[in-house]
């Protein structure tokens, strides 16, 4: 892999120990995947933020490099933390967990990272443009950035994204290279899809089929950004899809022709079977919306559906701090909390320790959450539409 003179110096340790280690990691990745050179990144998103995921070794590593003066060179956002950084007591988070989560966030802040903790940075102030090279690690955000925006990122791991943030570059391979952005499968949808949970079910089903390849969809109804974020998140979770195209809807679709690709049809029966498969629980102890983090539009809809009602079991709506702030100004947080539900910022049902809080069955409208909750949080799952789940907590 070609390195500039400046890059050779970093590798020789001339910019300090941390930069050398981080740059070495990027070079190694580039060598493994056949990168030709490094390219500058304009935006980074780092996963591996929750204490639940990184525990003491991860926390100590971050504190160590922060203490040694590591600073990011591109705007860098964080994935959700393990708790609402302001209202963690209200969530029932154990104080020992909270203490360590705060230490992690302080270490990131010291490196100059924006401590927004969200999987939807594109809704919260970190919006790349079409064709821009970025290094993001949250799989649903990677899928959204590549597919809906047309930015270019591989599915980075937490360490490689952090290295890209500190060095300001990433190796050029994979989805940074135009030839690798072609579709591999033609997915024709004959099922009629009604809301985000249907898009999540479709994503779960297709992710299982295409694995880490790129699907090209035809037959999809006009989808809004919330539907596409649900679709991409589920495909990234059940498979490892980092890029998809939708005829007439995503920006690179017109560059490709699905003719000649392996064709798979998705019918109403496939969607129904996916709901069946993902439903492993009968009565939800808690219902959680906002996977990926809820948009203002989704929060507005939930607030309208809860108007004048009282929930009988906990209902969380997870979102970013920025969107919560705005929702608060619009009176939406008050409306939701007036119904006895909670708007939770900075975290989500998968990366917070909900199993330690005592929940056993979680209701979700997200195909991604339904995929992860059993393994990651020891939960049984009720996977339903938003309307069905609101009805569930009102009984
Ligand atoms: Fe985001 Fe958590 Fe879902 S990180 S995509 S809300 S699992």
Of 178, 210, 228, which residue constitutes the final position of a domain? 178
pLDDT value of residue 353: 93
Distance CA 120, CA 64 (A): 28
pLDDT value of residue 87: 96
Residue with CA nearest ligand 1 atom 5: 292
Q: What stretches in the chain show pLDDT beneath 50?
A: none
Distance CA 25, CA 256 (A): 34
Residue with CA nearest ligand 1 atom 3: 291
| Index of the ligand 1 atom closest to the CA of residue 372 | 7
Q: Do 44 and 75 contact (CB within 8 A), yes or no?
A: yes
- Sheet-wide strand order for 75-78: 114-117, 75-78, 43-46, 135-136
Expressed in angstroms and rounded, the spacing between residue 16 Cα and the centre of ligand 1 is 35
Q: Do 227 and 155 contact (CB within 8 A), yes or no?
A: no
Question: Do 110 and 167 belong together in one domain?
Answer: yes
The answer, yes or no, to whether any atom of ligand 1 lies below 6 A from the CB of 390, is no
Residue with CA nearest ligand 1 atom 1: 292
The answer, yes or no, to whether any atom of ligand 1 lies below 6 A from the CB of 119, is yes
Of 276, 299, 334, which residue constitutes the final position of a domain? 276
Name, in order, each residue with C-beta under 8 angstroms of 7's C-beta and a sequence gap of 6 or more. Answer: 23, 38, 169
pLDDT value of residue 260: 97
pLDDT value of residue 350: 94
Distance CA 281, CA 259 (A): 41
Question: Do 162 and 309 belong together in one domain?
Answer: no
Residue with CA nearest ligand 1 atom 2: 348
Question: Do 137 and 32 belong together in one domain?
Answer: yes
Distance CA 391, CA 109 (A): 41
The pLDDT tens digits for 323-365 are: 999 999 999 999 999 999 999 999 998 999 999 999 999 999 9
Question: Do 191 and 224 belong together in one domain?
Answer: yes
Expressed in angstroms and rounded, the spacing between residue 236 Cα and the centre of ligand 1 is 11
Extract the tokens encoding 251: 């920006």
Question: Do 253 and 288 belong together in one domain?
Answer: no
Test site for ligand 1: of 79, 323, 368, most ligand atoms within 8 A of the Cβ = 368
pLDDT value of residue 172: 98
Question: Do 61 and 164 belong together in one domain?
Answer: yes
| Index of the ligand 1 atom closest to the CA of residue 80 | 4
Question: Do 340 and 284 belong together in one domain?
Answer: yes
The answer, yes or no, to whether any atom of ligand 1 lies below 6 A from the CB of 379, is no
Question: Do 269 and 386 belong together in one domain?
Answer: no
Question: Do 56 and 174 belong together in one domain?
Answer: yes
Question: Do 197 and 251 belong together in one domain?
Answer: yes
pLDDT value of residue 390: 98
Of 276, 310, 338, which residue constitutes the final position of a domain? 276
- Range of 381's domain? 279-394
Question: Do 346 and 383 belong together in one domain?
Answer: yes
Expressed in angstroms and rounded, the spacing between residue 84 Cα and the centre of ligand 1 is 14
pLDDT value of residue 14: 97
Q: Do 152 and 236 contact (CB within 8 A), yes or no?
A: no
Question: Do 250 and 286 belong together in one domain?
Answer: no
- Number of domains the chain contains: 3
The answer, yes or no, to whether any atom of ligand 1 lies below 6 A from the CB of 80, is yes
Region for residue 248 given its phi and psi (left: phi exceeds 0; alpha: psi -120 to 50; beta: otherwise): left
Distance CA 207, CA 217 (A): 12
Extract the tokens encoding 186: 């033609």
Test site for ligand 1: of 46, 233, 241, 323, most ligand atoms within 8 A of the Cβ = 233
pLDDT value of residue 141: 98
Extract the tokens encoding 18: 């941390």
């Amino acid at each position: 892999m070609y390195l500039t003179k400046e890059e050779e110096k970093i590798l020789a340790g001339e910019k300090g120990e941390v930069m050398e280690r981080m740059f070495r990691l990027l070079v190694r990745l580039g060598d493994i995947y056949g990168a030709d050179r490094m390219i500058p990144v304009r935006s980074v998103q780092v996963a591996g933020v929750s204490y639940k995921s990184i525990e003491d070794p991860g926390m100590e590593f971050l504190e160590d490099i922060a203490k040694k003066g590591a600073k990011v060179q591109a705007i860098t956002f964080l994935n959700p933390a393990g708790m609402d950084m302001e209202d963690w007591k209200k969530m029932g988070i154990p104080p020992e967990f909270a203490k360590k989560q705060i230490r992690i966030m302080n270490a990131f802040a010291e490196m100059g990272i924006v401590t927004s903790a969200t999987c939807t940075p594109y809704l919260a102030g970190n919006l790349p443009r079409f064709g821009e090279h970025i290094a993001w690690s949250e799989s649903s955000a990677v899928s959204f950035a590549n597919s809906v925006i047309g930015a270019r990122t591989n599915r980075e791991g937490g360490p490689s994204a952090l290295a890209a943030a500190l060095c300001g570059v990433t190796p050029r391979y994979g989805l940074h290279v135009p030839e690798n952005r072609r579709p591999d499968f033609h997915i024709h949808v004959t099922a009629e899809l009604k809301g985000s949970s249907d898009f999540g079910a479709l994503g779960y089903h297709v992710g299982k089929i295409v694995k880490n390849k790129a699907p090209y969809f035809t037959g999809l109804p006009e989808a809004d950004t919330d539907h596409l974020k649900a679709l991409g998140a589920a495909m990234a979770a059940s498979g490892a899809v980092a890029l998809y195209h939708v005829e007439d809807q995503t920006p690179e679709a017109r560059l490709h022709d699905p003719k000649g690709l392996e064709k798979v049809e998705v019918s109403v029966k496939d969607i129904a079977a996916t709901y069946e498969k993902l439903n492993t629980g009968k009565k939800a102890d808690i219902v959680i919306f906002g996977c990926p983090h809820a948009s203002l539009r989704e929060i507005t809809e939930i607030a309208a559906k809860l108007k004048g009602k009282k929930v009988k079991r906990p209902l969380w709506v997870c979102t970013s701090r920025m969107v919560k702030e705005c929702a608060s100004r619009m009176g939406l947080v008050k409306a939701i909390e007036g119904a006895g539900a909670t708007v939770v910022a900075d975290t989500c049902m998968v990366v917070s320790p909900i199993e330690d809080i005592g929940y056993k069955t979680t209701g979700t409208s997200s195909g991604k959450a339904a995929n992860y909750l059993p393994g990651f949080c020891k939960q049984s799952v009720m996977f339903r539409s938003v309307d069905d789940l609101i009805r569930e907590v009102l009984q």
